[in-house]
Structure 1
Amino acid sequence: MELNPEQNYFSRLLSHHKPLLISGPCSAESEGQVLETALALKNSGIDLFRAGIWKPRSKPGTFEGIGEIGLQWLNRVQAETGLPVSVEVATPQHIELALRYDMDVIWIGARTTVNPFVVQELAEALRGVDIPVMVKNPVNPDLALWAGALERFYNMGIRSLAAIHRGFSVLGENRYRNAPLWQIPIELKTRYKNLPLIVDPSHIGGRRDLILPLTQQALDLDYDGLMVEVHPNPAVALSDAEQQLTPAAFADMLASLKVRTAQSPNPEFLNCAEELRAKIDAADRDILEMLARRMALVEKIGEYKRQNNVTILQMDRWNEIFKTRPEWAARMGINPDFVEELYKLIHLESIRKQTEIMERD
């Protein structure tokens, strides 16, 4: 998938300023609410107004969106503010209505991205249509599903594509509503270098107080834009009340953000950065040489185990490694949780190598 920035609606916006600003209520609830929000956000300088018309909810009986009439309200937003508008679509019928009412941009939600059959139907419904499409990550942490959804739209001729990172559902307790798992969107950006990457801190955090720090972290990771949910009175919102900002709070957040550049023209910075990167490269080589030395020792002990008919996995040894290595790391000023995860990978590779040795018989 090769994206040309000159053909991409989002990249063209980014050529004028960064970050790209997308905002609006989680759900369109009334004509007055939609227009009030849009008029307030226009003064904040947003690029794209968003509002949910059809809301895929986890349980029946909850507010599932206002439906087609909401598209008429968004037409008024276009006419009275000049802002382009965007809605989420989940069926070919939604696409038909969005096109009929001249929506400027559509997005594919996380619950839809997870199903390749549905994504293919949506992509085929857009064959030959020139409309920008944003694709949210799937609910589960699956990079292939996310990339596949983008490619399905690309294969139907859509060239204005952007990815929205809204976090992932994970087991166990988590600080966030949806864990950010930053490494997944970064890998997506690595695969498609001209793909605009937008953060949705509202859905990642699930709470108003987390939106600013999550947004700042995303911008520090060189994200291209943000999609933030804003409501005139979040306390009475029909969906996601806890994660929506007021227009005033949104404006304050924008004023607080530090937008950094990917490069600096300062010669001193460039020289210092180049020197430090060279030292990092040397340190990485040292790390790899030590890993190679460790794996050579693993092969030797694997051979001794094979000769003496001893099992590969030794639980006492496993427990010792995962107790002592994080302790060593903490004494060296290194994050012990990081080292614990690192040694899980190292130990799994050790098991794989020893398994190969055992299979020689």
Structure 2
Amino acid sequence: MSHPLALRPISSWLPTAGRPLIISGPCSAENENQMVQTAQQLAATGRVHLLRAGIWKPRTRPGQFEGAGQIGLEWLQSARQASGLPICTEVATAAHVEACLHAGVDVLWIGARTTVNPFSVQEIADALQGVDIPVLVKNPVNPDLELWIGALERLHKAGLYKLAAIHRGFSSFEKGPLRNAPMWDLPIELKTRVPELQIICDPSHIAGHRELLSFIAQKALDLDMDGLMIESHLCPDLALSDVRQQISPATLARLLEGLEIRTPSPASEQLKDSLSQLRDQIDLLDDDIMQKLAARMKISEKIGQYKKENKVTILQVSRWEEIMHSRLAMAGAMGLSRGFTESFLKLVHQESIEVQNWIMNELAPQAVVMKK
């Protein structure tokens, strides 16, 4: 079911010269010098349209850096003055909204932990009633499309028309190479149901590691998303929060330079037939499969460590027989051929043994590859 919303495109409230919107800045505002220097370096790239920084940081567990608080808004103001970049930050309460409006913050965003709570979203919507300010809404922590759409609708009913969504991935119990599962089909479905909504991707929170940012960013652009939010810090390794996913402004410039922006022509869009749509679905499923395999190998590493500490042999024949029996039965019920399933399981099992061998014998990963 479509959810028509009267929205204004990003280009109407933030000039982007026809390019994807780029939002960047540190995970957290830590001090004035950090904000000003980072902002100046980001502005110097000529590619960043909006400066971001967290002021109030909702941490999963207490005892971690939870943001500088309201004084951080002064640092954002200084950074804007020094760089010329408009500023944005996250709000989670009416008090946050009031402080940001008083400080003249240009754009607000609602975080994943807030989007998941309709009471909190409604509180923010009420605080913004009659205020003409852009608001970006991150997807909820859990994969619930109705919550995401509901948050946008609450803000729209409060008279906000400068709205966009941010796709930052979804939390998962399975820990693979990515911090959050992309579940690309959800933002695609969101776009289908709210066609006028523009969607920005947050590769930093999906990847969780700076080495994977480029891959996620390119994937987002290939899926026709309208911009990127990438965390950048003056000294990433010294950041007080989310160290592994932040990059320097210079690294950001190189990352953006390496991205390919593919603009489909109307003719090519018309030629996109059912076969290409099915191939797109396969691409998304292949991404999921790779993430699941990576998560499985992470568990194999832990098993290898346990076996090493307890002097257990790598190969456990009874366990292997149990896996083959149960997986073949399940595969048969799902319509997969026995031959394919056996071959696949043997390959996965062999790789698992290699990983455990690497752990138990303290080999470098390259040594495992060379041995093959």
TM band (smaller chain): 0.7 to 0.9
Say if 1:279 and 1:115 are closer, same or farther in 2 by CA, change over 3 A: closer
Per-residue Cα deviation, 1:4-39 (whole angstroms, up to 9, x for no partner): 56x344555477322110000000001000001100
How far apart, CA to CA, are the structure 1 residues paired with 2:214 and 2:160? 32
The residue aligned with 2:232 is 230
The residue aligned with 1:40 is 41
Give SS of 1:117's match: helix
AA aligned opposite 1:119: V
The residue aligned with 1:214 is 216
AA aligned opposite 1:81: S
Say if 1:321 and 1:197 are closer, same or farther in 2 by CA, change over 3 A: same
How far apart, CA to CA, are the structure 1 residues paired with 2:327 and 2:246? 50
The residue aligned with 2:260 is 258
Q: Is the CA contact 2:169–2:183 (under 8 Å) kept in the aligned structure 1?
A: yes
The residue aligned with 2:273 is 277
Aligned CA-pair RMSD = 2.9
Per-residue Cα deviation, 1:34-78 (whole angstroms, up to 9, x for no partner): 001100110122111000000000111111000111101111122
Any runs of at least 4 consecutive aligned residues in structure 1 with deviations exceeding 6 A, and if so which?
278-283, 315-318, 328-331
The residue aligned with 2:78 is 76
Unmatched runs of 5 consecutive residues or more in structure 1: 284-314, 332-361
TM-score by length of 1: 0.75
How far apart, CA to CA, are the structure 1 residues paired with 2:222 and 2:57? 31
Unmatched runs of 5 consecutive residues or more in structure 2: 280-325, 343-372
The residue aligned with 1:249 is 251
Q: Is the CA contact 1:24–1:50 (under 8 Å) kept in the aligned structure 2?
A: yes
The residue aligned with 1:17 is 18
Per-residue Cα deviation, 1:286-331 (whole angstroms, up to 9, x for no partner): xxxxxxxxxxxxxxxxxxxxxxxxxxxxx99973634652557789
Q: Give, in angstroms, the shift of residue 278 of structure 1.
A: 7.1
AA aligned opposite 2:35: V
The residue aligned with 2:355 is none
Q: Is the CA contact 1:199–1:227 (under 8 Å) kept in the aligned structure 2?
A: yes
Larger Rg: 1
How far apart, CA to CA, are the structure 1 residues paired with 2:126 and 2:20? 31
The residue aligned with 2:336 is 325
The residue aligned with 2:314 is none
Q: Is the CA contact 1:10–1:196 (under 8 Å) kept in the aligned structure 2?
A: no
Per-residue Cα deviation, 1:74-127 (whole angstroms, up to 9, x for no partner): 111222222110000011000000000000000000011110111111111100
Q: 1:65 aligns with which of 61, 64, 67?
A: 67
Matches within 5 A, 1:1-361: 1-4=3-6, 7-10=8-11, 13=14, 16-44=17-45, 45-263=47-265, 274=271, 277=273, 319=330, 321-322=332-333, 324-325=335-336
How far apart, CA to CA, are the structure 2 residues paired with 1:317 and 1:330? 7
Q: Is the CA contact 1:11–1:196 (under 8 Å) kept in the aligned structure 2?
A: no
Q: Is the CA contact 2:139–2:148 (under 8 Å) kept in the aligned structure 1?
A: yes
Per-residue Cα deviation, 1:117-173 (whole angstroms, up to 9, x for no partner): 111111111000111000000001111111111111001000000100000012223
How far apart, CA to CA, are the structure 1 residues paired with 2:277 and 2:53? 47
How far apart, CA to CA, are the structure 2 residues paired with 1:43 and 1:258? 21
How far apart, CA to CA, are the structure 2 residues paired with 1:319 and 1:25? 46
Per-residue Cα deviation, 1:233-267 (whole angstroms, up to 9, x for no partner): 111100000000011110000110000002266xx
How far apart, CA to CA, are the structure 2 residues paired with 1:317 and 1:82? 61
AA aligned opposite 1:321: G
Give identity over the alignment, percent. 50
How far apart, CA to CA, are the structure 2 residues paired with 1:163 and 1:149? 10
How far apart, CA to CA, are the structure 2 residues paired with 1:12 and 1:223? 18
How far apart, CA to CA, are the structure 1 residues paired with 2:260 and 2:276? 27
Say if 1:193 and 1:243 are closer, same or farther in 2 by CA, change over 3 A: same
Say if 1:25 and 1:330 are closer, same or farther in 2 by CA, change over 3 A: same
Q: Is the CA contact 2:39–2:80 (under 8 Å) kept in the aligned structure 1?
A: no
How far apart, CA to CA, are the structure 2 residues paired with 1:212 and 1:146? 26
Give SS of 1:107's match: strand
The residue aligned with 1:343 is none
Q: Is the CA contact 2:135–2:164 (under 8 Å) kept in the aligned structure 1?
A: yes
Give SS of 1:162's match: strand
Per-residue Cα deviation, 1:177-218 (whole angstroms, up to 9, x for no partner): 000000001101111111110000000010000100000000
